[in-house]
Amino acid sequence: MSRIADWLTQQNRWLQALFAVLAGLFTTLALPPVYAVPLLLIAWPVMLVLVDAAQKWSRVLRLGWLFGAGHMLAGLYWVGNALEIAGAPPQLAILLPLSMAFYPALALLGYWVLAGWLRSRGVVESRDIASVALFSLLWLAAEMLRGYLFTGFPWNLMGYVWAFSDYMPQAVSLVGTYGLSLLTVFATALAVCLFSPRGWFHRLMPLVLGALILVSVAGYGFAHLATAGETAYHDIRVRIVQANINQRDKWRADLRAQNFEQHLVLSEKNEGEGFDLLVWPETAVPYYLDEEPAKTVMMGRIVRPGGYVISGVPRREILPDRSRRFFNSMIVVDDFGRVIETFDKFHLVPFGEYVPLKGVLEWLGVEKLVEGAGDFSPGRGAATLPLAGMPSMSPLICYEVIFPGAVVVPEKRPGFLLNVTNDAWYGETSGPYQHLMITRFRAIEEGLPMLRAAGTGISAIIDAQGRVISQLGLGKSGTVDGLLPVATASPTFYGRYGNSVIWVLVLLVVVTGFLAGKLTSGRAE
């Protein structure tokens, strides 16, 4: 196997660049919706072999960026659909993915620097368990930086490769998605040890360790679901409306009344005994519904007495100086048509809902990409909204759901999570599928059921173990009907401690790498 590694490092720089891009593409193919997870056993070894053989930091940075470009362009290509709808220049479609490519590049550069320093002191060797532990920790650091810097964009974390299963993701209730990413990268990157120039022991023992990690994750998942049992439900009937309105038609003034009526018709169809909770998606109709009592009365009369309608809406505030502030919001309407709760989105999309460094960037010609009267203002933060006669909820608008450990107020644990979104921007791409899988992981992390209303799909009812109870597919008009699942009796381990649990896992990986190094050092071949 070491001959394959030698062949790889002897290729010219153009072929090595191609291998780096393909390795990045392979890591994305392991993610939703393809789930080609075995490709990780090729991607990580290729990159680590190329990086270990590099002589200059500039070479490592270039290879790392090419790897990141393959990873991010394939994973975020759907951004181009949103930009096309917004009328932005097409070349901007690659700017976000290419800028995100620097995170993997920095992880690989950090690995090259630290591994070289540790090798010079005899602490690690090329293609051994300790060096893989170092790489996996630096990958984790890069993912977490991506989740926090510049408002954060933790999309397509490596832990999501297990979203095809109900069992493997259960580990996030213990260590969170960042923790599952660390375990996933560590276990699969150990395949590089097959290319070790040393003997069979140094090649096979890491594979056994990787298999043990993944078997342990799966075993925890089986035990967790066995303990949880079948999904339990409240006696609360839920209807989620998915009108499937084209993004180009959503804000047309001549279609406002028609779009509103379409939501009403879907809400009332086959009503039967009625519903306790009716959910419309993000900015379902382009009205300031909190200023339209006649319309909210029409909404409120659909639900049972004591029931609620929840809808995403644009909202505005007129200040004393007659200036205005605009919000991307969610309102709760009672059965009398009164707006009783309001929540404003607090995690705004850069360039979509506001322009960072607005004065400088607008001077350069960079403007906000979505329709609206001006920049949106951020809300106050995560909230728990009480609903008399029902469990309380934590509202999440659009991509607020992608941030692990930031979806609830810990001291005010809600009874369920509610995500309203408008994935019409992404069209028939992988974006909506990835977004749905992300919401499943938030449910598992917190031990809370999730109701998801998406304007064009995929809307779903998800239980506290992340199992999709019912859903309506992408590009379909209709409703998702069912009962509200019950939350876990107490917060999960991750729900209690959040991302601080990562440090425990980091320590375990460091100790594993150190002990493995001690065990294998000096062992006869």
Note if 193 is an active site residue: no
Assigned token pair, 505: 């896992």
| Catalytic residue status for 428 | no
Give which of 73, 67, 76, 68 is closest to 18, Cα–Cα: 67
Q: Which of 125, 143, 282, 400 is the catalytic position?
A: 282
Point out the catalytic residue in the list 398, 400, 445, 446: 398
> Rounded CA gap, 419 and 219, in Å?
30
Cβ contact 31:161 at 8 Å: yes
3-state secondary structure (DSSP) of residue 316: strand
Q: What is the DSSP string of 237-250?
A: EEEEEE----HHHH
Q: Which of 128, 141, 145, 144 is nearest to 199 (CA)?
A: 128
Whether residue 398 lies in the annotated active site: yes
Per DSSP, which regions of 268-425 are E strands? 277-279, 308-318, 324-334, 339-344, 385-387, 390-397, 416-421
CA distance readout (Å), 238 to 25, 280, 303, 334, 470: 40, 11, 10, 14, 11
Catalytic residue chosen out of the listed positions 250, 295, 345, 368: 345
H, E, C per residue of 439-490: HHHHHHHHCCCEEEEECCCCEEEECCCCCEEEEECCCCCEEEEEEEECCCCC
Sequence-distant contacts of 109-114: CB under 8 A, at least 24 apart: 109/57, 109/60, 109/61, 109/64, 110/138, 110/141, 111/48, 111/51, 111/135, 111/138, 112/51, 112/52, 112/54, 112/57, 112/60, 113/57, 114/138
Residues 185 and 203: their CA atoms lie apart, in Å, by: 18
DSSP bridge partners of 316: 326
User: Are the CB atoms for 343 and 297 separated by under 8 Å?
Assistant: no
Name the residues annotated as catalytic.
282, 345, 398
